[in-house]
Amino acid sequence: MNAARRGLCLRLGLGVLAFSALLFIKPLEDAYVLPQRLALALAALALLLGAGTWALPSTPVFWLGCALFAWRGFCHVASLSAPPSLPWLALQVPQLALFAAAAAALREPGLRVRAAQFLLAAAALGSAYALLAPLGLDPLARGAVDLGFGRRAHGSLGNPDFLGGWLAMLLPLALVAAVSARGAGRLLAGGAAALAALALALTLARGAWLAAALGCLAALGASGFAVPWRWLAASGALVACLALGILALGQGQAGLAGRLREAADPGSEAWSSRAFMASVALDLARERPLTGVGGGAFEIEYLRRQGQRLQSDHAQPFRLTADAHNDWIQCAAETGFPGLLLWALLFCLALAAAWRHGGAEGGAVAGALAAFGAQGCFHFPWDIVPSAGLLLLALAAAAAFAASEDWTPPALVRWLAMLAVAACLAFGLRQAASSALLNSGTALQADPAGKVLAVPLLAASAGLGPDDERAWSRLGAARMDRGDYAGAVPPLQQALLLLPSSPDTWTNLGLSLAQTGRLPGAEAALRQALALNPRSKEAWADAANTAYQLGRPDEAMDLALRGIREAGGSAQAWFNLGAMLFNSGRLGEAGPAFEQALRLEPGYPQAAELLAKCRHAR
């Protein structure tokens, strides 16, 4: 490949990476994740193709970055919680290839400038699109599932916190570009900075606001430029006024006030939930301090440990999450304290390299790193593809700064890397097909007229993506909904092989086993569900029914009462308790239970019928 074509591949790779955050495909279940993962893999492949001899910078940042990826891979393979996972590897390989290929490419100043231009254009376009949601004008959001974000800006990332984290890393770049440029360049960079700041403000992502502020301070400090405080103050005031005006037009000012009050209250759910999740992750790190639970196994172990904590901490609700909302502590949980030390050392060395490099380039890299580090204390930017891509690009640039020595691996290494990334790209396309079927099947399952088509679509999704627990668990639930409890058992069991700490799947398996007469197995499954989520009303109710069917009425009533105390009784739970008391001849106690069921669900016919019999017997 000649030099012109290599240059084209390098520019294409950097452009695809920069604009990957703008990609989403609504028909996919993972509409805002899979397209961005595919773009990241494609960017890595393009950079590898354009690498030529692939002269890698022999700097501490580069080698420490490679060591961190190697340690993460070792911890994954050595995990006691889950076997090596192809989906996990399909994420890590393109990231490692992107880091290495970008470190080689960004040694050229011209490519660093081009990367910055691409990122500024992406920030401007992404921010402009994100401004539509607070005004209720987003044409691509029609039919989207309401995730409770209200009129908060979320743009092409689908989540205000994800958008906020991405913009917090790009705002320092836009700021130092505006300060350092002249003429039209300053006007364009300033416009991009203003749009990014406005969209960031409208995300109402408080952690991202703090991260952006720290990132901008780090960028200005590392760049060595004189800080234009008056210009910054005037620009900030203008952005704040515009944000408040847009919030008022979109009726989002109440949400802003509520989030500010919550942030100011240390006892609020925003603080207590993050403290609890981080403490659970820290428990996992203490359990396995050397290698952690391994990447890809965090969700399994987190849910297990959370269930243990909920048994004694009755004030905390159950939270179904795959992240600790603190990347630093989650790093320790996944890779042990050695992994956390490697990551902290890499972060500090990269920040120091950017600070030494100085200027607009060093300031932009230092700002992105500082923003990522701050955001990682409140959220999980490492698991958000655009934020992770920006971090890898910043680390690669820091590795390339002032590299005086090269290391040129054998040509076979580059070709093997390209084959591995291409395989990951093909695997991602297969995941996309499975995700589209999963999304369609789930939508049809919610439609009474289309339920008959949901099962074959979900079965096809599970066939294309056998490593996706969601496809198997939803297939089992769809068969349960059709009354095919025997057919629901195998997919539910397969789902639990992939995610053995899913309380909902254990509950569905217990109910399916009970409906097919396998009561001992049902009892064991429901006990496991309650061990993972003692706040599950359905699991308590089903456990009580199973004990009753096994001929242990006293234990069944005790389980029903415990469920009401632990989880807050549902109408079904109160009815089940009343029915047990009724069948035991304790009509005076059964009546109030039926009354409570009817208070919770006034149209409950069985409860009304048995309540009438209780009153008639009096």
- Residues 367 and 213: their CA atoms lie apart, in Å, by 9
Residue with tokens 């800080």: 227
Residue 407: its H or E element: strand 406-407
CA distances from 17 to 5, 65, 99, 520 (A): 18, 19, 12, 53
pLDDT in tens, 367-387: 999 999 999 998 888 989 999
- Give the pLDDT band of residue 29 (cuts 50, 70, 90): confident
516: exposed, middle or buried (Cβ count in 10 Å: 0-12, 13-18, 19+)? middle
- Residues 402 and 471: their CA atoms lie apart, in Å, by 49
- Residues 134 and 251: their CA atoms lie apart, in Å, by 8
- Between 365 and 321, the more confident residue is 365
Is 90 exceeded by the pLDDT of residue 400? yes
- Between 37 and 139, the more confident residue is 37
Is 80 exceeded by the pLDDT of residue 301? yes
Torsion angle in degrees (nearest 10) through CA of 496, 500, 506, 512:
20
Is 90 exceeded by the pLDDT of residue 75? yes
Is 50 exceeded by the pLDDT of residue 592? yes
Mean per-residue pLDDT, 91-97: 95
- Give the pLDDT band of residue 144 (cuts 50, 70, 90): very low
Question: Could you give the angle at which helices 206-223 and 253-264 cross, rounded to 10 degrees?
Answer: 80
Question: Could you give the angle at which helices 537-549 and 571-583 cross, rounded to 10 degrees?
Answer: 20
Is 60 exceeded by the pLDDT of residue 251? no
- Give the pLDDT band of residue 150 (cuts 50, 70, 90): low
* Contact indicator for 479, 455 with CB cutoff of 8 Å: yes
Is 2.60.120.380 the CATH number for 570-618?
no
Is 80 exceeded by the pLDDT of residue 177? yes
Q: Which two tokens stand for residue 134?
A: 């607070």
> What's the pLDDT at 471?
95
Is 90 exceeded by the pLDDT of residue 268? no
Among the ranges given (295-299, 315-319, 511-515), the one the predictor scored with the smallest mean pLDDT: 315-319
> What's the pLDDT at 145?
43
* Contact indicator for 298, 322 with CB cutoff of 8 Å: yes
Is 90 exceeded by the pLDDT of residue 582? no
- Give the pLDDT band of residue 146 (cuts 50, 70, 90): very low
Mean per-residue pLDDT, 120-144: 79
Percent of the chain with pLDDT over 90: 56
Question: Could you give the angle at which helices 269-287 and 253-264 cross, rounded to 10 degrees?
Answer: 50
> What's the pLDDT at 1?
65
Is 50 exceeded by the pLDDT of residue 293? yes
Phi, psi of 586 (to 5 degrees): -95, 70
Strand partners, 407: 56
Mean per-residue pLDDT, 79-99: 91
Among the ranges given (75-79, 261-265, 515-519, 575-579), the one the predictor scored with the smallest mean pLDDT: 261-265
